[in-house]
Amino acid sequence: MSSSNDGPSNPKKPETRLVTAGRDTKGQRGFVNPPVFHGSTVLYPTAEDLHAHRAEFSYGRHGSPTTRALQDVLMSLEGPQCAGVGLAPSGLAAITTTLLSVLKAGDHLLVTDNVYRPSRNFCNGMLVRYGVEITYFDPLIGAGIERLFKPNTRAVLVEAPGSQSFEMSDIPAIAAVAHAKGALVIDDNTWATPLFHRSLDQGVDISMQAATKYIGGHSDIMFGTISANAKAWPLLTEGIRLLGVCAGPDDVFLALRGTRTLAVRLAQHHRSALEMARWLAARPEVLRVLHPALETHPGHDIWKRDFTGASGLFSIVLKPVPQAAVDALLDAVTLFGMGYSWGGFESLVIPFDCNAYRTATKWSPGGPTLRLHIGLENVDDLKADLDRGFAALKAAC
């Protein structure tokens, strides 16, 4: 965990901060990157130091110079509202650690209906078993969320946009209501990262990321981060300590390496995905494209107000066709891999259907739905790949 923040005194642009924050070349004997510290035990030089816990680092689970470097980068990226960053071994661990840190038996949690499905499973499973009441709400509810608050409402969990259906919640409006009611606002900020959406500046108290995605950037680590403002950080600190949450040193190093190129990678994901989204919107096989940065998206005005960029993830709704035709498309593409997760350098596609688990809103898109992640390949090659897929879809109808 780290609780130092040089944001207010550091006027550098985000791209520069990503490259320079957390670096101590003198302490690292001239090397640009810090070494990977593999260790659990930290030795104290004297009994007096031991009794006083007088050491920069006390135990491997509590951090190392490598973890501190990563936390410093992330705090710089999150902005001046960030009081600390916790690291977790996966994105889901970041979410569950956060919820366990701020909730107790008898509390009420409001959860957006477009939430990441494993988050929903945790809420419906362990949290309910531990005596936490859950209510799901329409992600487009905005300030209307006030009518759902109860005397025991402790927190609101939002995700903007939802990583399948891509509704854009009005986070500032929700946060204003929640804070007036004395509740915390928790945001899953994986889609945009703090580079494109500083959610703590939007009134969010705790911002989480599945850093498995864009922070890592290469589909080779599992990682999660939890950033909090001064109000929520003490709760997170205690939760992380009591739950024993920590991330492995090699994954910390890889996440730190990923932050150095985050700006250039996300900029390319943004450009390529938007070009692909516009191309797909003109395809005869596509009913509509779910991408907040498109002017035709219902949440575009919120995206334009609150975000500075978009990532490579969006969805499309196909015109009604048999499932066999959708499967033929999936089997025909070669550059788009079929696999879960996203945020790496490679392009991905998966079919999905929210109807089975959404409870506060009805999911009725009008046709089969595919989620695409646009990677770093050449966009013309990706279009040609989907051309082959659409030809196979048409042949199977």
Q: Specify whether the CB–CB gap between 266 and 311 falls below 8 A.
A: yes
The Cα–Cα gap between 170 and 203 comes to 11
DSSP 121: H
| Confidence at residue 311, expressed as pLDDT on a 0 to 100 scale | 97
| Confidence at residue 112, expressed as pLDDT on a 0 to 100 scale | 98
What the chain holds in terms of domains, given with CATH numbers, is 14-260 (3.40.640.10), 263-396 (3.90.1150.10)
The Cα–Cα gap between 157 and 99 comes to 9
Evaluate if pTM is beyond 0.75: yes
Could you report the per-residue pLDDT of 31-65, keeping only the tens digit for each? 888 889 999 999 999 999 999 989 888 898 999 99
Could you report the per-residue pLDDT of 251-284, keeping only the tens digit for each? 999 999 999 999 999 999 999 999 999 999 999 9
278 in the Ramachandran plot: left (φ > 0), alpha (ψ -120 to 50) or beta?
alpha
Q: Specify whether the CB–CB gap between 375 and 345 falls below 8 A.
A: yes
Q: Specify whether the CB–CB gap between 370 and 283 falls below 8 A.
A: no
| Confidence at residue 33, expressed as pLDDT on a 0 to 100 scale | 85
Helix (H) or strand (E) holding 58: none
- 133: which strand partners? 108
Average of per-residue pLDDT across 128-133? 98
Average of per-residue pLDDT across 8-28? 79
DSSP-assigned letters across all residues of 272-298? HHHHHHHHHHT-TTEEEEE-TTSTTST
The Cα–Cα gap between 206 and 187 comes to 6
Active site amino acids: 61, 116, 188, 213
Q: Is residue 220 predicted with pLDDT exceeding 80?
A: yes
Average of per-residue pLDDT across 202-215? 97
The letter for the amino acid at 117 is R
| Confidence at residue 9, expressed as pLDDT on a 0 to 100 scale | 52
